[in-house]
Chain A
């Protein structure tokens, strides 16, 4: 008979981060070890429920003996490694990455990025007002979520969440090559004609607000969106018997957004259209 797989016992690897000795379980990434050691390494394309994509390069660190800087989010920890998270080279690289991103993309709704820009003394304005921008109106084509590609950093998290890593719907893909690459509905069709099932699992992982819930988008436009006035309460979905955990974001006694805890054993942060968007009945109060 088979028994519950416990997994292979994991060795602890010893190495150093910024000169201090650390121990991390075999298989963990440099980023995991940095976070455990309390090092503040910025990330954008990294997602706790997704496999590393190495797209944004904002988490790069210096590793002794490595010719290039390495992305902390995907590089596995090795024994004897000497990692430097705050070296001149790493800081310089992050600064350039932030300048390039912030000059070409609207990062106004990206959490923490303003702090990083300050911390790394990045000057996105130095490319002048003619820096390449998409300059596109947000796509408001359905009642549930909005796509604002001016805010897209091409991190591919939405593509992965919609694709084989979670949802397996494949409504989102990359179209174009090189400078013309952009996130699009498959075959660049209108969203409402696509395979999209409106689960919002792409919105859940978007790091910049390029994808946002219609409720949030409308409230931001009206100037009423106020995260400091919101409470977050985790409860269980009211629809089928699967029992997905929902975190209700409530402002002025209205549910304004629904997410799910990423470490939840049932959902791993994913929901379906009913769980994500089907809350309105509770607040049809008059």
Chain B
């Protein structure tokens, strides 16, 4: 059997504002005037208990205005986006080491490197066009190593696949570090000049011998040794990672452990040598850059820095709270406590994207007021008091987005939005006006130019130049010049003053996944993406992919035999939090005790009922990659005639 009968849910566009007077009523169509007034009143009465979910899918300009709305109109730093559910640990880890949260390299550089490490990343499926650059690199002679519990289609291109146990990334990284030190392959001059904390790091990794690492990670010692030597001996090496590293309860620690390897070998800050976290949404990089995160102002400027605050306070004629706001995870906790009463949710679908989705829905139902601005009536929108129909950022508005290599590129309006749908920025400004702030933005470029005036890293990027160069990578402080394609070249300066802050080694300990497997829940469930689908499927469900077969629980052939299940057979999948029914798929890329699911079809199989909300204490990202489950055959149905 190849395909089963499915009637996938497809979403149609929202064309009119919707509202309801109480939560148990159905929505009714409303005029913009009425809906905006209602939304403004709902937010007004919850001043001081407000949170903003900004949108990693919308433009930089929209994110800039959204965070400004939170900070100026509502007077709070409680603004965040779905970066929290994916790459927040990468931003946190990279900023802790280098003071800047962006990937350090460019796509083109990976074509001219010698060793490529793809760690917890199935880029072949999740970032196909980035992987074309990797393939170019391989064809140019680079050796690629894949570190992933699953033998993915990325791993098929690898020189060596290191199939580690889920959640043992730190032991693996530490063992690689120890081997590099013991083999005399550490770049001592670079460590001396550009880093701090090496002695402590050396002591930290000392216990992680290759044989201990083999025991913990399940990867043969000689394979770990080979990767260590290849990475350290390469003239240039690229270390790329995705959510296999970040979606853990200690995601930031995982990121730090990988960064350590680049510091140890000097594989950063040069052309072709660097660190590349691959971002999951079209503008999740830009959303953070624009300040739609609780701890940074636009241009990645720290809220705790008085000079930065002063600059924005005079630019915006306001007072900025001198402390960090709540991140997405903390906002959900605050809903539980009752200290967060109103949410303005733009283009996000946390009812289906958060780990432990039942809990997320319950918490949102406790809100006094929820306004959702989206292009579809998502499951999150179904919980709202007011729904505002917006335009699709990428095809119906003008603006910019920022990709994984920090390249700011123009998006342009190509089609006219349906019905009365309005641009995000217009809607936010209408609400701001009703709450006493009369902002005038003629167009997206006006917003962009305001951002340029407050963010030195973006100052040199006029719309005209963005067009001319097909996008420009930040930092771009000058309107005449372009900076190198890689970051942190300063670490190689001979003059200590030019070198700036040295990069500290991250002193991080191994901490296994929170949701332990035991006799009751013997299988490790990990999650990921498929090639033709995307996130909660609201967008990708709209087109007919010949590859799509719906949601399955994927098992290795050995486990399928052990549990006596066959492809297509529906089974009960249970974790300590919830239970779903899903059909079985058999995949030889998995190993005994390891199962795989996606979150692409939550209306069929709500995988996030199984996942655990064990959060990274630094970045707030949940451990989507490791839950403990069991599978059971369904009782044979007896049909009474």
Contact = CB atoms under 8 A, between A and B. Distances in A.
B288 to A, nearest CB: 11
Nearest to B58: A238
A253 B416 CA distance: 6
Interface in B350-399: 375-376, 392-396
A278 B641 CA distance: 46
A244 B127 CA distance: 10
Interface stretch (B128-136, B202-210, B222-230): B128-136
A241 B11 CA distance: 23
A5 B418 CA distance: 48
A278 B542 contact: yes
Contact of A243 (B270, B273, B401): B401
B128 A199 contact: yes
Interface stretch (B247-255, B276-284, B498-506, B622-630): B276-284
Given A236-B401, A273-B531, A241 B542 contact: no
A143 B545 CA distance: 7
A284 B127 contact: no
Given A235-B411, A240-B126, A277-B545, 7 more contacts: A5-B271, A233-B414, A241-B404, A243-B409, A255-B414, A273-B547, A281-B539
Contacts of A142: 546
Interface residues of A, number: 60
Contact of A198 (B376, B540, B546): B546
A246 B419 CA distance: 25
25 contacts: A3-B270, A4-B271, A144-B546, A192-B546, A197-B547, A233-B414, A235-B394, A235-B411, A235-B412, A239-B282, A240-B281, A241-B283, A245-B409, A245-B470, A246-B394, A261-B470, A265-B107, A273-B545, A279-B395, A281-B392, A281-B539, A282-B395, A284-B10, A284-B11, A284-B542
B12 A278 contact: no
A164 interface: yes
The 5 closest A-B pairs by CB, nearest first: A243-B403, A241-B279, A281-B542, A272-B128, A233-B414
A3 B271 contact: yes
A246 B282 CA distance: 12
Interface string A216-238: 00000000000000010111111
Contacts of A264: 470
Contact of B414 (A248, A275, A281): A248
B442 interface: no
Given A168-B135, A238-B395, A253-B415, A2 B270 contact: yes
A116 to B, nearest CB: 32
A250 B139 CA distance: 37
A50 interface: no
Contact of B132 (A166, A278, A281): A166
B415 A250 contact: yes
B68 interface: no
A250 B416 CA distance: 10
A266 interface: yes
Contact of B403 (A5, A167, A266): A266
Contacts of A286: 12-13, 15, 418
A284 B13 CA distance: 6
A19 B614 CA distance: 75
Interface in A78-119: none
Nearest to A145: B546
Interface in B480-512: 484-485, 492
Contacts of B11: 281, 284
Interface in B105-123: 107-108, 112
B235 interface: yes
B585 interface: no
A118 to B, nearest CB: 35
B443 to A, nearest CB: 16
Secondary structure class of chain A's binding surface, majority of residues: loop
B281 A235 contact: no
Interface of A: 1-5, 142-144, 164, 166-168, 192, 196-199, 231, 233-246, 248, 250, 253-255, 261, 263-268, 270-275, 277-286
Contact of A244 (B129, B235, B285): B129
A243 B404 contact: yes
A49 to B, nearest CB: 11
Contact of A282 (B128, B392, B492, B532): B392
B1 interface: no
A280 B404 contact: no
A143 B548 CA distance: 12
Contacts of A198: 532, 545-547
Contact of B415 (A5, A272, A283): A283
A265 B139 CA distance: 18
Contacts of A242: 107, 127-130, 278, 403-404
Contacts of A261: 470
A238 B394 contact: yes
B539 A238 contact: yes
B563 interface: no
Nearest to A143: B544
Q: Point out which of B132, B412, B547 has the most chain A C-beta atoms below 10 A from its C-beta.
A: B132
B538 interface: yes
Interface string B533-555: 01000111111111100000000
B272 interface: yes
Contact of A236 (B13, B282, B531, B542): B282
B395 A255 contact: yes
B404 A282 contact: no
Contacts of B12: 284-286
B129 A272 contact: yes
B534 A241 contact: no
Nearest to B403: A243
Contacts of B107: 242, 265-266
Nearest to B416: A253
Contacts of B531: 197, 272-273
A18 B187 CA distance: 59
Nearest to A239: B534
B273 to A, nearest CB: 7
A234 B128 CA distance: 20
Nearest to B279: A241
A280 B401 contact: no
Contact of A248 (B13, B112, B415): B415
A220 to B, nearest CB: 19
Contacts of A253: 415-416
Interface in B1-43: 10-13, 15
A255 B13 CA distance: 15
Contacts of A265: 107-108, 407, 470-471
A138 B403 CA distance: 39
A59 B130 CA distance: 34
Interface in B542-576: 542-547
A240 B470 contact: no
Contacts of A271: 129
A229 to B, nearest CB: 14
Given A235-B395, A264-B470, A277-B545, A240 B279 contact: yes
A198 B546 CA distance: 8
Contact of B270 (A1, A254, A279, A282): A1
B71 interface: no
Contacts of B84: none
B413 interface: yes
B382 to A, nearest CB: 17
B352 to A, nearest CB: 16
B143 interface: no
